[in-house]
Amino acid sequence: MSEQVFSFVEEVNRRRSFAIISHPDAGKTTLTEKLLLYGGAIRLAGSVKSRRASKHAVSDWMEIEKQRGISVTSSVLQFNYGGHCINILDTPGHQDFSEDTYRTLMAADSAVMVIDCAKGVEDQTKKLFHVCKMRGIPIFTFVNKLDRAGKDPFELMEEIEKVLGIQSYPMNWPIGTDGNFKGVYNRKKKQIEVFGEGNHGQSVAKVISGDVSDEKLKGLLGDSLHDQLIEEIELLDMAGDDFDLEKILAGELTPVFFGSAMTNFGVQPFLEGFLNLTPPPAARNSNHGMIDPKTENFTGFVFKIQANMNPTHRDRIAFIRICSGKFEKGMQVNHVQENKKIRLSQPQQFLAQDRVVVETAYPGDIIGVHDPGIFKIGDSLCEDGSGVQYEGIPVFAPEHFTKIYAKNSLKRKQFLKGINQLSEEGSIQVFRRPHIGVEELIVGVVGALQFEVLEYRLKNEYGVDVVMEKLPYRYIRWVEVPEFDPDNFGVTMDTLIVEDEEERPVLLFQNEWSIERVKERNKDAVLRDISLRKA
């Protein structure tokens, strides 16, 4: 079979780039694996399993990094399905590495939220959902594990609306719950889709579909399930939110699909329904206004940096989201922030589990380029001299803080180098006490396990043993006032005033009560829990 040739515009239009978000164990990895299976990218499901191991312990995370020389934190899985070129922006499974997921969402055009039907909307789902909401990208919901006992589907819909504050529209409706999952009713096609017994989800599920009144399907389901379905369809049509594509695209209404990633039931209806609705790469905001992905000028931005992905080479990879134009291997581009010309010579893409060198790539794609230490998160690249610079990538609120020193003060130079590089990767945030200076460093992370990774990496990659003294702070706020004067800013006894790496004033709090007191005492100050990196 010869490969189909697409024009540049067709290449852009057929791209669908999204991230899957979920609370750990809801089934993100399993769903990713099944999407690859349907896309023909893997023959038998199970190949993504090695990634799954990565989330259980830090030691696994590091072992895998070491042995396989690839990043298990997040990369991109690309495959074709139904004429679309799909990029799944993979994210780490463990919630302590969720900052990585936050940043990856900056590069995605839509998100799929996986919910465990027995657990409903969980904590981590809420946090990740808010990042999607902030970006205004479309959010699709896959209610998973329908093969098992779970909450009532109507109750789940209500929970999504109440807890997340987003309207929902079920695209399909489960037939048979609590261990008796037989199929789904497709509301758009108004047809029943009954799944055939598969080989434990290892290959695609067979589907028999037909009209609601089809006697054969009725027989397959049995009278009571069929009657229940008819009742529920009526109820949905009467009581639910209306389908509204504009709201979906604005992230105000989430299309909901029911299924079971493990058995493959509902995976294909989801994939097809999702691809029908999820948009191709959209225009992105920059200092030159909105940039259309179909403009010829190649542009993109760095959303993730991962050092030492391959320990034998000590390389550092910058992940670039392409926003416009065609990328070609070896092309010369301007690094906008540094105002420097650079050649992108070893661009890589991550197909399922392999790294390959890419020759060409299009808007919506992610490429990894070798970074000799010139990139920072949020940096923009631009083919011509116009200096297009995309909006900065937010710095998310760390929730754990520690003081940190090198055990051996002679290693201070190495220590600072390591801290600096890891901070550029975005895996830690560094703060200083004003007037105390560099002697006392405070590091903040989103998830506590990141401290262990920090300690491990400083020792293994920079040869520095460190001492950490955990601090009691849990909340961070960036302060915005016309003139910040630390001596006259009213804070509570247990609040610490620090500066971030860009010398912006930051407050560390132990409890929410103190945040409220500080707000009351400083009416002219705005306290933010997310800050933009300076462009």
Find the shortest distance in angstroms from Cβ 196 to ligand GDP: 17
Find the shortest distance in angstroms from Cβ 352 to ligand GDP: 16
Q: Is 144 annotated as a binding residue?
A: yes
Q: Is 28 annotated as a binding residue?
A: yes
Q: Is 372 annotated as a binding residue?
A: no
Q: Is 347 annotated as a binding residue?
A: no
Interface with ligand GDP by CB under 6 A: which range of 21-29, 133-141, 190-198, 473-481?
Answer: 21-29
Q: Is 28 in the site for ligand GDP (CB under 6 A)?
A: yes
Q: Is 385 annotated as a binding residue?
A: no
Q: Is 148 in the site for ligand GDP (CB under 6 A)?
A: yes
Ranges of beta strands (E only) in 76-179 are 76-81, 84-89, 110-116, 139-144, 167-170, 172-175
Which is it for strands 139-144 and 253-258: parallel, antiparallel or unpaired? parallel
Interface pick for ligand GDP out of 90, 96, 147, 383 (rule CB under 6 A):
147
Q: Is 91 annotated as a binding residue?
A: yes
Q: Is 133 in the site for ligand GDP (CB under 6 A)?
A: no
Q: Is 226 annotated as a binding residue?
A: no
Q: Is 92 annotated as a binding residue?
A: yes
Find the shortest distance in angstroms from Cβ 36 to ligand GDP: 13
Q: Which of 373, 390, 372 is nearest to 381 (CA)?
A: 390
| AA letter at 369 | V
* Interface with ligand GDP in residues 186-205 (CB under 6 A): none
Q: Is 127 in the site for ligand GDP (CB under 6 A)?
A: no
* Interface with ligand GDP in residues 92-121 (CB under 6 A): 93
Q: Is 318 annotated as a binding residue?
A: no
Interface pick for ligand GDP out of 13, 17, 30, 186 (rule CB under 6 A):
30
Q: Is 141 in the site for ligand GDP (CB under 6 A)?
A: no
CA atoms within 13 A on the CB side of 65: 26
Interface pick for ligand GDP out of 10, 24, 80, 329 (rule CB under 6 A):
24
Q: Which of 170, 209, 175 is nearest to 187 (CA)?
A: 170
Distances in whole angstroms, Cα of residue 370 to Cα of each of 26, 88, 252, 281, 437: 34, 21, 38, 25, 33
Q: How many CB atoms lie within 10 A of CB 191?
A: 16
Q: Toward ligand GDP, which CB reaches closer, 35 or 291?
A: 35
Q: Is 26 in the site for ligand GDP (CB under 6 A)?
A: yes
Find the shortest distance in angstroms from Cβ 96 to ligand GDP: 13
Place of tokens 């990585």: 100
Q: Is 93 annotated as a binding residue?
A: yes
Q: Which residues contact 153 (CB under 8 A, 6 or more apart)?
A: 117, 143, 170, 173, 174, 177, 258
Distance CA 504, CA 480 (A): 9
Distance CA 274, CA 344 (A): 33
Give 3-state DSSP helix, strand, coil % of the chain, rounded to 5. 30, 30, 40
- How far is C-alpha 71 from the geometric centre of its chain's CA atoms? 15
Q: Is 293 annotated as a binding residue?
A: no
Q: Which of 454, 450, 455, 431 is nearest to 508 (CA)?
A: 431
- How far is C-alpha 276 from the geometric centre of its chain's CA atoms? 21
Q: Toward ligand GDP, which CB reaches closer, 261 or 336?
A: 261
Interface pick for ligand GDP out of 6, 8, 10, 25 (rule CB under 6 A):
25
* Interface with ligand GDP in residues 437-476 (CB under 6 A): none
Q: Is 263 annotated as a binding residue?
A: no
Distance CA 318, CA 298 (A): 17
Find the shortest distance in angstroms from Cβ 281 to ligand GDP: 26
Q: Toward ligand GDP, which CB reaches closer, 30 or 168?
A: 30
Q: Toward ligand GDP, which CB reaches closer, 260 or 450?
A: 260
Distance CA 369, CA 331 (A): 12
Find the shortest distance in angstroms from Cβ 249 to ligand GDP: 26
Which is it for strands 167-170 and 253-258: parallel, antiparallel or unpaired? parallel
Find the shortest distance in angstroms from Cβ 472 to ligand GDP: 30
User: Which strand (E) or helix (H) includes residue 230?
Assistant: helix 223-239
Q: Is 517 in the site for ligand GDP (CB under 6 A)?
A: no
Q: Which of 183, 237, 247 is nearest to 214 (CA)?
A: 183
Q: Is 60 in the site for ligand GDP (CB under 6 A)?
A: no
Q: Is 52 in the site for ligand GDP (CB under 6 A)?
A: yes
Interface pick for ligand GDP out of 262, 358, 388, 441 (rule CB under 6 A):
262
Q: Is 90 annotated as a binding residue?
A: yes
Distance CA 104, CA 393 (A): 10
Q: Is 144 in the site for ligand GDP (CB under 6 A)?
A: yes
**Residue 113 burial by Cβ neighbours in a 10 Å radius (0-12, 13-18, 19+):** buried
Find the shortest distance in angstroms from Cβ 526 to ligand GDP: 36
Interface with ligand GDP by CB under 6 A: which range of 18-26, 316-324, 365-373, 390-398?
Answer: 18-26
| DSSP labels, 279-290 | --PPPEEEBTEE
Q: Which residues bind ligand GDP (CB under 6 A)?
A: 22, 24-30, 52, 93, 144-145, 147-148, 260-262
- Extract the annotated binding site: 22-29, 90-94, 144-147
- Extract the annotated binding site for GTP: 22-29, 90-94, 144-147
